[in-house]
Amino acid sequence: MKEKLEALEQEIKEKIAKAKDLKEINELKITYLGKKGPINEFTMHLKELQNEEKKEFGKVLNDLKTSITNEIEEKMKYYEELEIKEKLEKEKIDITLPGVKIKTGSPNILEHIIEEVETICMSMGYDVVDGPEIEEDRFNFELLNIPKGHPARDAQDTFYIKEEEILLRSQTSPVQARTMLSAGGNKPIRMICPGKTYRRDDDDATHSHQFMQIEGLLVDKNISLSDLKGTFDVIFKELFGPDCEVRFRPSYYQFTEPSVETDISCFNCKGKGCSLCKNTGWITVSGAGIVHPNVLKNCGYDPKIWSGFAFGFGAERLAMLKYGINDIRTFYQTDLREIKNFDRREKNDD
Ligand code: DAH
C-alpha cells in the first residue's frame, strides 16, 4: 500500500507540474481530490486495517492529501494571477490617445429664435398656443374681418384645399380667433402662437411658400397702443440688445384698427445708416395694431368692455436679421455646416 501511495504521489505531482493552465489544474483537483478520486478511495480502505496500521497509514494519507492540496492551490493561485496580469496587459487603455468626439444634434436656428421669443413672452405671462395648419376659411379670414371677396385676401395668396372652405393657413391669426372663441368672451387673454404658414409665393432669397410666423394677442380692458409699444420694447430689447428702439408707422390690416408697422433701430449701424437698414437707420420687423371691434365681436368679446392688441412677425426674418443670414432657404436645407455655425454648445466645446 505504501508503494502504491508513493507511486500515486509521484504521478499527481508530475501532472501538477505539467498542468498548463487553470482549467487543467481544476481538472486535476477534481480527479485526485474529489469524492471519487484515488485518495478518497484509500481512505475508505483504512477501516479494513488493524489499529496500529490504521494510525500509521491514516497519517501518511493525511500528509499526502495536505501536500497535494497545497500544491494544487499554489498552482491555481499562480495561474489566476497570471490570467489577471494577461488580461490587464491586453486591455490596457492609452489615455493619451485623442478621444472620439460624439456628434450630437443641435437645434435649428429658427427653432432657437422661436424659443427665445416664447421665453420672453412667457416671462410677461403669455401662454404659447398651437393651432391646425389645415384651417377653415372662417378662422383664417372671416372671423378676422376679411369677408369673402374682400381685396385684403389678395395680399395672402392662399393654398386652397377645398375652394372657399378649407385651406393651408396663410397666417397664424386663426389661432387668435380660436383662442378668443374658446375663452368664452369673459376673461383676459395673453397668448402667442408660433407656427408654420403657407402662401403661394415663388421661393427666392427672401420668400418661401412655407414660413414661420409668431403672432401674439392680448385682450383685456382699456388696452391702448402704448401697451403694445411697452411690450415690443421688452421683446426687441431682449432680442437685439438694450439700445434697441421701437417706432410705429401707420399701416393697414383688416383685423386691427388702428394698424401699425413696427420698426426697430438698426442694431448693425446704431441708426447711422448701413446696407442692412437700407440707409434708413430702421428695420421693419412686425405688423400690429389694436384689435378691430368686429374681430372681438365675431370671437365672442364685447368691444364696449374689452379691447386688445395683436401683432405678428416672421420668425425667419427675425433670425435672418439677428444672425446675419441672407437667404431664407438656409433654414430649410438642413445643411449641417450651417446649423453648426449657430450651435453655441459646439462652439464652446471646441
Ligand atoms: N397676419 C399678418 C400677416 O401675415 C401679420 C399681422 C399683422 C398679424 C397685424 C397680426 C396683426 O396679429 O395684428 O401679414
Distant-in-sequence, close-in-space partners of 219: CB < 8 Å, separation ≥ 6:
180, 183, 188, 189, 291, 296, 301, 306, 307, 308
> What is the number of the ligand 1 atom nearest to the C-alpha of 310?
13
Does 81 share its domain with 120? no
Strand partners, 311: 216, 288
What does the pLDDT look like over 41-70, one tens digit per residue? 888 888 888 888 888 888 888 998 999 999
pTM of the model: 0.71
Give the tens place of pLDDT for each residue, 163-198.
889 999 999 999 999 999 999 999 999 999 999 999
Residue 57, domain member (yes or no): yes
pLDDT tens-digit series, residues 209-221: 999 999 999 999 9
Which is the closest atom of ligand 1 to the Cα of 309? 13
What is the pLDDT, as a whole number, of residue 57? Answer: 85
- 240 φ/ψ angles, rounded to the nearest 5 degrees: -115, 5
C-alpha cell read off for 14: 508530475
Peptide bond just before 151 cis, omega within 30 deg: no
pLDDT (mean) for 290-308: 98
- 12 and 158 belong to one structural domain: no
Contact, 316 vs 328, CB < 8 A?
Answer: yes
Q: Indicate which residue's Cα is closest to atom 12 of ligand 1.
A: 311
User: CB of 289 closer than 6 A to ligand 1?
Assistant: yes
Whether 258 maps to a domain, the answer reads: yes
Minimum CA distance residue for ligand 1 atom 2: 312
Of 171, 193, 207, 286, which is best to mutate to test ligand 1, by the most ligand atoms within 8 angstroms of its C-beta? 171
Q: What is the CATH number of the domain that holds 170?
A: 3.30.930.10
Ligand 1 centroid from CA 45, angstroms? 106
Domain with 154, as residue range(s), is: 109-335+344-349
Query: Best substitution site from 126, 145, 173 to test ligand 1's pocket, by max atoms within 8 Å of Cβ?
Result: 173
Single out the residue in 90, 121, 137 at which a domain terminates: 90
Structural domains in the chain (count): 2
* Residue in this structure with the C-alpha cell 372663441, named with its chain if needed: 181
Of the three residues 90, 120, 155, the one that is the final residue of a domain is: 90
Find where cell 405671462 sits.
125
